[in-house]
Structure 1
Amino acid sequence: MKTKFKVFFQNLSFQRKIIVISFAASLFPLLLLTFFSIGTIQHFIIEREKSNNQDNLTATYQQINLRLTTYEEAIAFLTSSQFLIDELSIENPSNFEQYDLYTNTIVPLFRSIYSQQDTIANITLYTSINLYDHGKYVKKIVPGDITSKFKLNNTTNISYFFDNKQNQIYLYSQLFSAKNTDTNIIVFQLSPEVIFDNLDNISNEPYLLTITNAKKENLFQFSNEQPEQLGFISRLMQTLNQSQIKNQKQLKNDWIITFSRPMYSVYNGVLLLASVACLIFLFAIIMLSLSIIGLSKTVVAPIQKLANQMNDSPENTLNLKPTYQSNDEIGKLYQSFYQMIQQIQELINRVYKSEIKQQKHELRALQAQINPHFFYNSLSLINNKALLTGNQEISEMAQLLSQFYRLSLNNGKSRLSVAKELELTITYAKIQLKMHNHSFDLAIDVDEEIKQYEIITLLIQPFVENAIFHGIDHIEDDRRGKLTIRGKVLNNHLQFEISDNGRGMTAEQTATILTHQGKHYGIQNVKQRISLYYGVKEAIVYTSKLNVGTTVRIILPKYTT
């Protein structure tokens, strides 16, 4: 069968061969392009919908966050009112004192909040003080009341509680007095309809908006999807594809806002474009057929002539003159060929200019080598001037800077001895000591044996920099900072440790510091360099404890790869 087809194809006329080959070579790419176009359209529409969803989600987040911030500022104003705190410090108040407390302190304060935030349903002071209940403003804490459901942590932090039975949201915060140990809680009662007002007109497209708290309780839900108004195709797509595009954002009180769009509504736009793409495909097939039949009768001879000219000797080819005068595609091909020949001739002439430019680049490279010497000479001059004027601090700083940059440049080499790397790192630490006015201590504990080996440049210094700026600089108590650099040979490896007694990190921060999620790009750069030079991916290990300090351990093979 294969032999018969081969013989049949060979016996076809050249024109028909062009038709068969053109159809075979064009049809499959056209099909691939059509499917790729439909897929690309779908991708961009979905990405656009995701972006629109994110915009809608951000608008919803800002609206709710603004309202919650207003309520939180109001309750913070009450809990920080020293006048209210002092009034509540009275032990065993008499009836008159209670009356005075209600009428002259609590009620005016609460009404002032009501006048500014009329959307608050109730403002109530729950207290363990021996007071009579005063309407909705003051209630004595009793077992089983709403405060029994609150999580009180003896701080003035503002918390939220959702009563799903009553469909009410409570905003509460404790109020403390240094004169007694009574429990006082300011409680705002809020209606979800007020907090989540105007969230039903975010988009004209079908969407589902859901707001839940940390307990996964549904605080608010809205959907403008109306299945009875969907067309046949939309209902069919809804049946076949139940998935959704979801975007989520978390408020600072751990409420989660979820904005989602049904995929069938997204695909409605794709369906129209896919239909257009199919029509374009059919039209392209028809036009392709007509074009191949027409072009096959006119392109054979001119192309063959052009091929013969291209196969001619280089001397004759460079001296060709246009022989085909036409404005069709073949004529443009001839023109492009002759233009290419002219460009080749021009490129030959430009070789000499390229050599001149190369010499200029070499001169710039030589100047770049001179620049570091100029920098060192400038620092040396600053040092000499400082010595002449008796300014020892400036002299020492200039010497340290000169030594640091001399070691870090390392004559352009990528490796240096451990001794020089330690010298570079210690020089950097001394510079930081001067910049920090000797506010921390520097301790060096390095075995002499380790100094004979080689490592890559600037391996230890980024960790020292990180320990100072992210650790020691953030000590919040009266501890004096301490930076320790250790180095030793351990079996067949070199081990370095950089320790600080700074702020430390949480377990989550420790887990992400070496990943792309972290913000310590210098450390990630060192990790990548170690992986490239040594072929070791787990050479850096962090251990840290919050408010105690951080230690990073670097373990490398004795010999570089």
Structure 2
Amino acid sequence: MLSSTITGVILYFQAYNSAISQARSVMEQNLLQTKTSIDEKVSMIENISQIIAFDSRIQTLLDSAFINESFQLQDYRYNVAPIVDNIMRQNTYIHSIHVYMNNPTIPEIFELYDGFYSMKRMRGDEEYTSFMHDSQKSTNWRGLHLEKLLTTRPDVEAKADVFSYNRKILSGRNNEVNGLVEIEVTQSVLFQPLEDANPDVGSVLVMDSNSRVASNNTTQLSDETTKQLRAVLPGNNSKLNTLATIEGVRSIVISIPLTGPDLRLVGVFPVSNFVDKVNQSIQTSFIVLIAALIILSLLVYYLTVKLLSRMKVLLKAMKQVREGSIDVSVPVVWNDEFTQMALSFNHMTSRIHDLVETVYKSELLEKDAELKALESQINPHFLYNTLATISWVARKAKVPDIVKLSDSMAKFYRLVLNKGNSETLVANELDMVGAYLAIQKFRFEDRFDAVFEVDEQVRSCYTLKNIVQPLVENALIHGIEPKRSHGTIIIKAALEDDLVVIRIIDDGVGMSPDMRQDVIEGRNINTKGSGFAIANIKRRLQAYYGESQHIELYSRQGIGTVITLSFTARGIKNA
């Protein structure tokens, strides 16, 4: 239940965040579509103003003085004035077009259409005056204001709220400002795409640079909502897509700047509209989960009762074994995991019974071995005493060779026996080899030389006893002796990367590749000696050092043989 609850919480937050993220993306795309529709109208208004401002007939009219009033008035009335009238008829969304003329000689005509007016009508309007005197601006959008009714119309009861776009009309002769075209579009027409926004999803509104609402798709928007929106929206009219709390409701707030007028398109969409389905889905999943847990609990309870009934039989048998009864067996009924456990238990009790008998017999044999070991302790002392007596008699008879031989023999056996220990110092192992070679020199009548190259640091390390002497013996018997001439055996010992490395080098007869492989693998070879020394030493080192030991054998016929032992360096053990 805990794991399911944690999983459910994680899945809920993932679904919640995913729904909000998707809603933010979708709502932003919807607002971008609305912005595109508004921008298209803005672009069309700007293009129409450009058409009027750059019309050669209008530029000629504004550049010309009315001298022949009859002819020019006729051309003005029938050729120039209808230009604005035709544009108005073709673009019904435009509320009005005003062309202001800076030429005082041109009269105003009201019979057909009130489209052309004198620039004097603009006097007193600071915004227009500032725009006309600004040489850096040729166009200008004016924010929401009441329309200009320059002529009285019977069908107009009140002035409408409009946005206006102004463009300067330049002279075709000297590039001076000869006039101004003003296009007005009503608020409702410009922001008609807002009506397509579903108010049930959220509020879509247009706000000016002072965060005042210019239009919205809802019938009423409270002052508190507007105030809180001002605190959320950026002051530089930049793009925004965030989450904020508006009037206590967690909402998605999206702001997109509009092209043309200094306005922004703002959307406020309550999060609850997008996560309600997620909550419903989570509730349904929770109910299903609870039902599944109840069914699972009943199933587990039933299985547990069934399984424990069989487990109790096994536990009872285990208890009998714990109390000392080993002649116990569990009945085997089914062919399942409990049956395998019962078979294993029966096999275990049978093995315990056999092991008890084996241990009992082993204890008897061990006691017998201890008695024999006590008896065998007499033999080394007898051997040392005998060798000491031989050495004393040789000194008395002044036979130094026998003295040296008996001393070497005593030293060799003392180091070989090592007080029964299987571990010894590298120094003792090398001293034993030295004693062995001293004895062999008498036998071989100084037909070989023994050279020791030993690093003093390696002498204090511990190793298994009797691992170097068999290899030196092989080098002497299988390498130097068949040579039938003087030879040399070199024993090197050093520390290399925390490893004890011992090399036995001889310049004997060497061996063939097949013989070398037989020696490494421990197979019997048709030479003097057993041929098992290297394989035996390798097994001993592997049992003691594991994988950190290594033995290498290199040999060439007629040149000699090199055997390298390497194993982990171990310092002097604590007492």
Q: Same fold (TM over 0.5)?
A: no
Q: TM-score range by the shorter chain?
A: 0.3 to 0.5
TM-score under structure 2 normalisation?
A: 0.42
Q: TM-score normalised to the size of structure 1? A: 0.43
